[in-house]
Amino acid sequence: MAIPDYQTIMLPFLQFAKDGRTHSKREATDHLAEIFQLTDNEKAVELPSGKQTLFDNRVGWARTYLKKAGLIKTIRWGYFSISDRGLALLKQNPETIDTKLLKKYPEFKEFITYKPGKNPPVQPKETPQEILYNAYERINNELAEEVLQQLKSVTPKRFEDIVIDLLVKMHYGGGYPEAAKAIGRSGDGGVDGVINQDTLGVDRIYVQAKCWGNTTVGSKAIRDFIGAIDLKHADKGIFITTSTFVNGIKESIAQSTKRIILIDGKELAKLMITHGAGVTTEDELKLNKIDTDYFVEE
């Protein structure tokens, strides 16, 4: 079963609390995971931030909306119980609880009414974090397309320099610039760059950088690269292109005795954004949450 959205969660959440006892959010989350028959993999799906699971986040927002409508009440931090209003609603046997139903309660209507500096209007399916992360992902995807188009317009020599700069920013070669260099002439011995993984250059990674537009990189180019690495008595290589690789090539190189990493144009653009190569920060948003330990008297 797919992970339910926060509105789908609200009715079973309230039904869980109908015994009138005090419950923790953890109890509710575990119970609801069983109700929705979520697999371990589904329960482990995280928000893009990696700091909370998607299901936990949706349960948390279901609880928030129920509380804002006065259907549950907070007993102490992290614990809640159903209210008289919540019990009254369950006696009506609603088929579902969603934001449309909650709007009949004035406290909730006030909560979702947009005012400058206050909460934005409620969205139909996504939680506020999901809206934020999805918008962030859309912006980054559009930026990645722009980065890739720019990469396809540079000269082969500049592309080699960009690739080496990115790998240094990713801390290959220990992150020190002198550890990596573009070799200087295209296809020098079948490679375009080299990274020393130690200060003496005993262990090296060779780099092939192909600015090929939309031309698909085939098996021959990869075999030639592996051969070039072999001639240099090395066993590690990174093949980076602005285009794509033929289907199945990644599976086939897994059988090679060499450790070869393939990075296509889309992945390259995303790596550049992640590591600040060719992009600048326009704005930063910081998402805070309450620190409960701060309020505990020692």
Assigned domain for 280 exists:
no
Same-domain pairing of 153 and 259: yes
CATH code (residue 204): 3.40.1350.10
pTM above threshold 0.85: no
Average pLDDT over residues 24-30: 93
Confidence label for 296 from pLDDT (cuts 50, 70 and 90):
low
The whole-number pLDDT of residue 186 equals: 46
| Amino acid at site 138 | R
Between residues 182 and 156, the one the model is more confident about:
156
Q: What pLDDT is stored for residue 183 in this prediction? A: 53
Mean pLDDT of the chain: 84
pLDDT for residue 11: 96
Domain count for the chain? 2
Residue 259 lies in a domain: yes
In a domain, 288, yes or no: no
* Residue 189 shares a structural domain with residue 235: yes
Same domain, residue pair 150 and 261: yes
CA–CA separation, 20 and 298 (whole Å)? 32
297 DSSP β-pair partners: none
Residues 97 and 194 in one domain: no
Any domain includes 191: yes
Q: How confident is the model at residue 121 (pLDDT cuts 50, 70, 90)?
A: low
Which domain, by its residues, includes 82? Answer: 6-121
Residues 154 and 265 in one domain: yes
